[in-house]
Structure formats: C-alpha cells, structure tokens
Amino acid sequence: MKSVSNNSAPPREVTLPHRETIQESPGWRQEYPFRSHFCATDGFQYHYLDEGTGAPLLMVHGNPTWSFYWRHLARHFREQYRVVVPDHLGCGLSDKPTRYPYNLQTHTANLVRLVEQLDLWNVTLLAHDWGGAIGLGTVTQLPDRFGRLILFNTGAFPPPRVPRRIAACRLPLLGRLAVQGANAFALAALTMASERPSELTSAFRDGIVAPYDSWSNRTAIYQFVRDIPLTTRHPTFDRLAKLEHQLRHLPTRPVQLIWGMRDWCFTPTCLERFIDIFPLAQVHRIEDAGHWVIEDARDQVIQMVDRFLDETRSAGG
C-alpha cells in the first residue's frame, strides 16, 4: 500500500500481524497511539482497539471512516472506561477480502461476535453513520449486554431520502469506477462531511483515507454504498424496517442523541425519527456542525458525552 501522506517526513511501513502493510505518515500515527488487537471472523482478521479498564464503551464507525475517526474520544475516555473500537471487515486495519458479502447483516454478525468473544457487559454504544444500524442491530440481538446508547448523525431505519450524490455512486460501472477506482467517495467526504473542511488537519486527512489506497482496498466502501436501499425491493430495506420496529420495543434505557445539524446526508429528519423512537432521549443539536460532528465539534462533544456518562452511571456500570 502506498502512502497518502502530504507531510515532508518520509513515511514508514507498519506490518500488521495479519500480513497487511500500510505506509503511515508520522502525523496521523501520532494521533492514533493505540495497540492493535485482532480476532478471527469468517477466516479473516478483524481489527479492534481495546484501551483502558472499567465499563466498556463500544465505538462503531461508518463509511468511509474507520476506528481512526474515534481517536479523540478513545484517548479521552480510556482513562475511565474500557474503550473498544472495531474496524468493520474491509475497513481500517481489518482484512479487506475482495470476495465477501459486505452488507448490514454480516457487519452486524461480526460485531455481535466481537461483543461475545470479549464478553462485554454493561456496554455503552457510541455509533456514527452506518455504525448506527450495525451497532443498534447488535443491541437488538444482545439487549442484556447494553446499558446506554449514544448516537451521532446516523440511521437505523429505511432512509427517508437518498441524496443524489450518494445515488450517483450506485450508477452501473461509473459508480464503481468513481468509488473504487478514483476513491471519489472517501476523498469527497474530506470536503462534504465537515462544515469546516479547511480546518481539517493534514494528519486527519492522511489518516482517514490511509487504509483505502487501492481498488481492492476500497471494496467495502463501494459495497457499503451498494447496501443503501434505494427501493423497497432491496434486501437491506426490510432489515432496516425490522430494526426500527425492534428498537421501538427495546426496554427503556438512557439514550443521548448528538447531531450535526448541517449534515446533508443524515439530516435533522433522521434526528427527529430517532426522537420518535426514543422519546426520552437527551438531545443535543450542534447547529454549526456537519456529518463528521465529532471532528467539527470535538471539545463540545466530549463534554456532552462526559456529562451524560456521569449522569447515567448506574445504567452503564
């Protein structure tokens, strides 16, 4: 894998236990000072972070990010909690098989397996983007293991609308050439997922796309896009509809919703849908933040999460 670094310092190679070698610039690696862990799933290596001790916080990323997106929260909360942050298969530092059924069902099954293998209890779920559907699907399968939910700009129901720029990535041949060939989905996110793209550091820009530097390594990004149901005939439509129904019948638990209100994808309409599902949720609307709400409003988000965890400590260990 070749370097995506824009730094003047020469990149160094990092060889992971499961054969993959990535080039990493000093900048992004300094922001990701974590030890890698791996477990086997479907014959492949599934990467995750496991930092600190105490009640577990499970942080679940979406597309086209990876565990690097959670780095600031992981560093902050590992002082008080056990922070577990997986990379979905095909993403981040996990194996990236080109022939694999990348869809909501398999991503959820992999996360369920990780929670069970690590024997996590009293878990607080933190989820963003596709991580919401994957993480909440795990909650519905293992409800007794989860005590609190914190959701950021996500969805767990059939999409109210699919933006044209997302639908365009589904065009036959052209969509795949753009997403897997030109890395258009991940690179476009650097300008469209943040309300302040000019303030994104070079370390963040390098780090967020570092694992996705070739056609084959972008397979999961494209398959995530393909898994968005544009019609009711898509198999994931029914899975999302079922998930929403299950969420409405979960036992009551503390829920926090933190939303970047300028997100063009998971719009405020999605937030209102979650408020309808979780009417007792603590809601925070960050008016000047976009889809990457944690990157746009890091300090504000950390304070909100800190306060929520303190106020609901009895529900999360």
In tens, the pLDDT along 144-199 reads 999 999 999 999 999 998 888 888 888 888 999 999 999 999 999 999 999 999 99
Q: pLDDT at position 167, please?
A: 85
Alpha helix (H) residue ranges in 163-260: 164-167, 174-176, 184-192, 202-209, 219-226, 235-248
Highest mean pLDDT range out of 22-31, 155-164, 246-255? 246-255
Q: pLDDT at position 73, please?
A: 98
Q: Of the candidates 279, 228, 232, which has an alpha carbon nearest to the alpha carbon of residue 257?
A: 279
Question: Looking at the predicted structure, is the pLDDT value of residue 119 above 60?
Answer: yes
Q: Of the candidates 123, 110, 31, which has an alpha carbon nearest to the alpha carbon of residue 82?
A: 123
CATH code at 87? Answer: 3.40.50.1820
pTM of the model: 0.91
In a domain, 144, yes or no: yes
Q: Of the candidates 230, 114, 123, which has an alpha carbon nearest to the alpha carbon of residue 172?
A: 230
Could you tell me the residue range of the domain that residue 25 belongs to?
12-315
- Of 294 and 160, which is predicted with more confidence? 294
Q: pLDDT at position 162, please?
A: 86
Question: Looking at the predicted structure, is the pLDDT value of residue 10 above 80?
Answer: no
Three-state DSSP string of 29-53: HHCCCCCEEEEEECCEEEEEEEECC
Q: Are strands 12-15 and 21-24 parallel, antiparallel or unpaired?
A: antiparallel
In a domain, 2, yes or no: no
pLDDT per residue as tens digits for the range 55-113: 999 999 999 999 999 999 999 999 999 999 999 999 999 999 999 999 999 999 999 99
What is the mean pLDDT of the segment spanning 8-19? 37
Look over the chain and give the mean of its residue pLDDT values, rounded to a whole number: 91
In a domain, 93, yes or no: yes
In a domain, 7, yes or no: no
Question: Looking at the predicted structure, is the pLDDT value of residue 130 above 70?
Answer: yes
In a domain, 4, yes or no: no
Q: pLDDT at position 314, please?
A: 82
Q: How confident is the model at residue 26 (pLDDT cuts 50, 70, 90)?
A: low
Q: pLDDT at position 15, please?
A: 40
Can you tell me the distance from the alpha carbon of 34 to that of 14, in angstroms, rounded to the nearest whole number?
13
In a domain, 1, yes or no: no
In a domain, 253, yes or no: yes
Burial code (b: 16+ CB inside 10 Å, e: under 16) for 177-199 equals: ebbbeebbbbebbeebbbbebee
Can you tell me the distance from the alpha carbon of 123 to that of 184, in angstroms, rounded to the nearest whole number?
35
Q: pLDDT at position 3, please?
A: 31
Q: Which two tokens stand for residue 231?
A: 């019609």
Lowest mean pLDDT among 170-179, 183-192, 229-238, 288-297: 170-179
Question: Looking at the predicted structure, is the pLDDT value of residue 218 above 80?
Answer: yes
Above pLDDT 70, what percent of the chain? 91
Can you tell me the distance from the alpha carbon of 291 to that of 189, in angstroms, rounded to the nearest whole number?
9
8 Å CB contact between 124 and 58: yes
Q: pLDDT at position 25, please?
A: 58
Q: How confident is the model at residue 23 (pLDDT cuts 50, 70, 90)?
A: low
What is the mean pLDDT of the segment spanning 20-42? 82
Q: How confident is the model at residue 317 (pLDDT cuts 50, 70, 90)?
A: low
Q: Are strands 255-260 and 123-129 parallel, antiparallel or unpaired?
A: unpaired
Q: pLDDT at position 194, please?
A: 97
Q: Is the peptide bond before 33 cis (omega within 30 degrees of 0)?
A: no
10 Å Cβ neighbour count for 59? Answer: 27
Can you tell me the distance from the alpha carbon of 312 to that of 292, in angstroms, rounded to the nearest whole number?
25
Q: What total number of domains does the chain contain?
A: 1
Question: Looking at the predicted structure, is the pLDDT value of residue 42 above 50?
Answer: yes
